[in-house]
A = this chain, B = another copy of it.
């Protein structure tokens, strides 16, 4: 009962993941990562969230951007641009290309994505378990006034500036939770929802058929960290998206989205006034600093989350 299963998207989630990885025994952390942002570009399969978590846990993430590899160069991209390639608005560094090359080649040879990520993690000395939310392709489609956009086109190319009317996860019906997940949930001491976008990072994970039920049935306490602080997303378009889709843009709005799936919510000290409303949903509430500016913040929040979970009555108890 020593493992932790954490659900995460990209940059925001990876920060807490790194904190958890540092305060837990190295192989105790299982990351269940969104793959609905994945796409194919330059003929390569790109998994932005898995790679952000991988690079972050490896201590190799670019600290300025949060994504990509620290110190990476962009010679391949410059030459692709010279050749008139499409999609060069998506920044891929030279060393980063190696990740996509290896992955694409091994997937083409029939390896499941989870096995590919395990190999990459091992090569980068990452002992946490990186599980994609499923092995088969799922694609988030964003319905906007400009039309139905593939996620990266909405998010990167158009700088998430479009109003979001609706979201769809193409391929989700055929998706299945990764084989290793059930065992990890069974022996976990906590399930953590990282402060990732609840709609397009955690949302697709929970939309994998069977996954929501598996988390509901899990004997370990389940806690989330609100990605909304003071009514704003710390990063990315979660706030606009919540508003666009009719949710309250607050930690309370997040609590309502996760109601029935979590036992407790960590909210920022700035949102302490929301504790009562969130408690009324039947959730335990922990008020703590949640903004992770430095490594120490990541570890501190991880400790807070684990201590909070340890205090919660186990659902099965």
A residues contacting B by CB (< 8 A) are 42-44, 69, 72-73, 75-80, 82-85, 93-99, 101-102, 104-105, 108, 119-120, 123-124
Contacts and interface: CB of A to CB of B under 8 A. Distances in A.
Nearest to A74: B94
Q: Say whether chain A's binding surface is mostly helix, strand, loop, or mixed.
A: helix
A24 B69 CA distance: 46
Contacts of A93: 75
Given A108-B43, A124-B82, A75 B102 contact: no
Contact of A76 (B43, B76, B85): B76
A123 B82 contact: yes
A94 B80 contact: no
Nearest to A94: B75
Given A43-B108, A94-B94, A102 B80 contact: yes
Contact of A85 (B78, B80, B102, B124): B102
A101 B94 CA distance: 12
A43 B100 CA distance: 11
Given A72-B75, A73-B75, A123-B84, A43 B97 contact: no
Contacts of A120: 83
Contact of A95 (B43, B76, B84): B76
Contacts of A79: 69, 94-99
A85 to B, nearest CB: 6
Nearest to A120: B83
A80 B94 CA distance: 10
Q: What 4 A-B pairs come out closest when comparing CB atoms?
A: A79-B98, A75-B94, A43-B105, A79-B95
8 contacts: A44-B101, A72-B75, A73-B75, A78-B95, A79-B98, A82-B124, A83-B98, A83-B123
A101 B85 CA distance: 10
Given A75-B72, A108-B43, A83 B102 contact: yes
